[in-house]
Amino acid sequence: MGTAMTIKPLIILPDPLLRQVSKPIERVDSDLQRLADDMLETMYDAPGIGLAAIQIGVPRRMLVIDVSREGEEKQPLVFINPEVVKSSDERSVYEEGCLSIPDYYAEVERPATIGVKYLDRDGKEQLIDADGLLATCLQHEIDHLNGVLFIDHISRLKREMVIKKFAKAAKAKAI
């Protein structure tokens, strides 16, 4: 039996950590692989289709994704130090949500296809061409590594309303 995976608490807006820029990962070792496994476990439990390390309070450039549908076999992907190396002029619009901004959804327009260079779970360099939901999810999670949230892509008015609502909820919880 391997070590048990741990579900980590998620960091929720308006936590300032979400605005932190994550640091590059110097080496891929068993600790990092354990973190990747914990992130996947946390993501599946939520449930979500993507999670950046910063969302569990770890400001390192790693994210996990699984865009397989319910009832399909799981297809967990681990991206270490991901970097968008190309993006299409063609755009697509998806309704996005975020585990750190629970129960809020908004349409976001992003490049329809992207190329991403990254290290996999074993530290091997990979290049992936992504389109559809995977492209959207990758861009959303890479944004997290740069302290950017999907609400930054919507109108200022809507964004301020969302932030206000979450700030109020956080205050109520603190009492």
Q: Which of these is catalytic: 70, 83, 109, 141?
A: 141
Nearest to 48 by CA among 4, 5, 10, 94: 10
Rounded to the nearest 5°, which phi and psi values hold at 25? -95, 125
Name the token pair of 98: 């975020």
Strands (E) located in the chain:
50-52, 62-65, 77-87, 91-98, 101-111, 113-119, 125-131
Indicate if 41 belongs to the active site.
no
Q: Which residue numbers are catalytic?
A: 141
